[in-house]
Chain A
Amino acid sequence: MSHRRPKSPNMQNYRPQLTSVLSFGHRLSGVALSLGAFGLAGWLMAGASGQDAFGSAQALLLSVPGRIALFLVTLALFYHLCNGVRHLVWDSGRGFELRAIYAGGWTVVGTSLILALALWTWWPA
């Protein structure tokens, strides 16, 4: 053998499927929620340190980028919650038929979108 064996591509070539995409989404939404927790702590600290600081924090959150970030965090929250329930079902040994895997996956996608949009539509702001 004249040189090292190459490695066949994995993620660069493998087809995105509901199975893997939702799993990556679960990990990503978990990361987003950790970052969101820092934001929440910052917001509370601003509120505790006086009216001026709270005013600037509110202005930041209610700006367009702030609202987009908040929406993404709520979407991550509901997605992580719904997919977490899906994982609990699997942990009980149920729902492993391919049809159940796909039906459950799409249900999680739909439910988390509906919950996030409903929160933003009806939450008294």
Chain B
Amino acid sequence: MIVDRSDEVPRLKWPRRFPVPRNLGVAVHSRIAEGKSWPAPEGATRIATLRIYRFDPDGMAGPRLDTFRVDLDDCGPMLLDALIWIKSRIDPTLTFRHSCREGVCGSCAMTIDGTNWTACTRAMADLAQPAMIFPLANLPVIKDLVPDQSHLFAQYEMIEPWLHAETPAPERERLQSPRERAALDGYYECILCFCCTSGCPSHWWNGDRFLGPATLLQAWRWLADSRDEGRGERLDALEDPFRLYRCHTILNCTRTCPRGLNPGRAIAEIKKKMIERQG
């Protein structure tokens, strides 16, 4: 009932999803059909079932939900291991992004059993049966579990995520006291996996103009930086009914961050700065 850390797997077995029709408000070309069901590998004793969202951009069909059965004795412990196992043993066309396999690159972020997380840091033992594996929510799908994140990165670019400085560059690096550096803790660790933005209902419905938690956490990371001299312009750019203030403190973001960061708090800090400068 009480959640302490974002890495706690949701415990409630019901409800798994909102009591709305599967295709509520879903455009025809996004509706999900029943796909192929692959049999369990021969001789397997410990089997996990994965229902995986598939979309083939070269075919004429829309998205479908395939069922795979994974031999847990033949593959590694994490969901990413299982996906790689499926790709090498069952269906080589299964497509997903991955790189670091230890939760620091953010490539394998996906919607796992209805919440966003990186596949490499979610244990197979913690999945529901059957487990539902979807690409990150609310994004155009390029293929299978690979979503198009261009819009999210365009929003990230909008907050100009680099140091703004008027003063001439010093001989060596711009200095910061340990205390000033500590103000960035909890913000600089963001890996831009966009689990939070993709899980934010406000971004689902106003994502064209609302920047979303990941980008706003980054905006705060620069506002909180003692070396940055662009605070006024940064706040000006965010002072907008949509860009910042479509955050209604739902806090799905803080619940779903695979790094255990707190976008909700970062956004509250920005809102406080807005009030403070009005005097």
Query: Is there an interface contact between A6 and B132, defined as CB atoms closer than 8 Å?
Result: no
Residues of B within 8 A of A16 (CB): 15, 17-18
Does B2 reach chain A (CB closer than 8 Å)? yes
Partner of A6, one of B63, B249, B255, B272: B63
Does B78 reach chain A (CB closer than 8 Å)? no
Contact with B along A102-114 (1 / 0, CB 8 A): 1100100000000
Partner of B201, one of A9, A20, A90, A101: A20
Contact with A along B139-174 (1 / 0, CB 8 A): 111100001100000000000000000000000000
Partner of A11, one of B2, B10, B141, B204: B204
Count B interface residues, CB 8 Å: 62
Give CA–CA (A91, B264) in the complex, Å.
Answer: 11
Contact with A along B8-20 (1 / 0, CB 8 A): 0010000111101
Distance in Å: Cβ of B21 to nearest Cβ of chain A: 8
Distance in Å: Cβ of B198 to nearest Cβ of chain A: 8
Query: Is there an interface contact between B17 and A12, defined as CB atoms closer than 8 Å?
Result: yes
Does B138 reach chain A (CB closer than 8 Å)? yes
Q: Is the interface of A mostly helix, strand, loop or mixed?
A: loop
Known: A7-B138, A15-B113, A91-B271. A98 touches B255 (CB 8 A): yes
Residues of B within 8 A of A24 (CB): 201
Does B265 reach chain A (CB closer than 8 Å)? yes
Query: Which residue on A lies nearest to B19, using beta carbons?
Result: A16
Query: Is there an interface contact between A6 and B268, defined as CB atoms closer than 8 Å?
Result: no
Residues of B within 8 A of A3 (CB): 29, 60
Query: Which residue on A lies nearest to B260, using beta carbons?
Result: A98
Give CA–CA (A123, B10) in the complex, Å.
Answer: 40
Query: Which residue on B lies nearest to A4, using beta carbons?
Result: B29
Does B262 reach chain A (CB closer than 8 Å)? yes
Q: Which of A8-63 contact B (CB under 8 A)?
A: 8-20, 23-24
Q: Which of A63-113 contact B (CB under 8 A)?
A: 87, 90-91, 93, 96-99, 101-103, 106
Sample 22 A-B pairs with CB under 8 A, ordered by A number: A2-B59, A4-B29, A7-B27, A7-B30, A7-B139, A8-B53, A8-B137, A11-B204, A12-B21, A12-B23, A12-B26, A14-B18, A15-B10, A15-B15, A17-B255, A18-B3, A19-B254, A24-B201, A96-B254, A96-B262, A99-B2, A101-B254
B residues lining the A interface (CB < 8 Å): 1-6, 10, 15-18, 20-24, 26-27, 29-30, 32, 53, 55, 57-60, 62-63, 111, 113-115, 132, 134-142, 147-148, 199, 201, 204, 248-252, 254-255, 262, 264-265, 268-269, 271-272
Q: Which 4 A-B residue pairs are closest in the complex by CB-CB distance?
A: A15-B114, A96-B265, A10-B138, A6-B30
